[in-house]
């Protein structure tokens, strides 16, 4: 019974739900989103590959030596690789809509 004033008040209150695809909420500054990678800084130490709990990092060889490739569809956004990188080549972003129709579209090189 004591809830009735609140329930009636809701009829005139602004909607609490964010109508997501049309209306987007700004994520907070600290959000852990998709990773970005700077090839020019990377020294190929493979630490990120060793610590990754989800095996989301693959090491490949290119003309400059070893480098990681990030499979974002397996990433759990724990940011261990960001913490461990000695040259800060892995940078966080605030991109949170990490969906794609093909796995290849979600690979950060």
Residues of this chain, 48-77, that bind another protein according to CB under 8 A: 50-54, 76-77
Under rule CB under 8 A, residue 14 binds another protein: no
Q: How far, in Å, CA of 47 to CA of 39, rounded? A: 15
Report CA torsion sign: 38, 36, 22, 104: positive
19 binds another protein (CB under 8 A): no
Q: Rule CB under 8 A: say whether 31 interacts with another protein.
A: yes
Q: Is the dihedral of CA 79, 81, 84, 88 positive or negative?
A: negative
Interface stretch with another protein, choices 26-34, 35-43, 56-64, 65-73 (CB under 8 A): 26-34
């Amino acid at each position: 019974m004591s809830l009735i004033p609140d329930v009636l008040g809701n009829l005139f209150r602004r909607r609490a739900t964010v109508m997501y695809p049309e209306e987007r909420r700004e994520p907070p500054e600290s959000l852990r989103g998709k990773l970005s990678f700077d090839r020019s800084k990377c020294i190929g130490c493979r630490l990120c590959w060793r610590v990754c709990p989800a095996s989301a990092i693959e090491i490949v060889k290119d003309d400059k030596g070893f480098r990681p490739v990030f499979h974002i569809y397996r990433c759990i956004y724990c940011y261990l690789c960001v913490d461990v990188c000695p040259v800060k080549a892995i940078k966080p972003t605030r991109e949170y809509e990490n969906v794609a129709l093909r796995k290849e579209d979600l690979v950060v090189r």
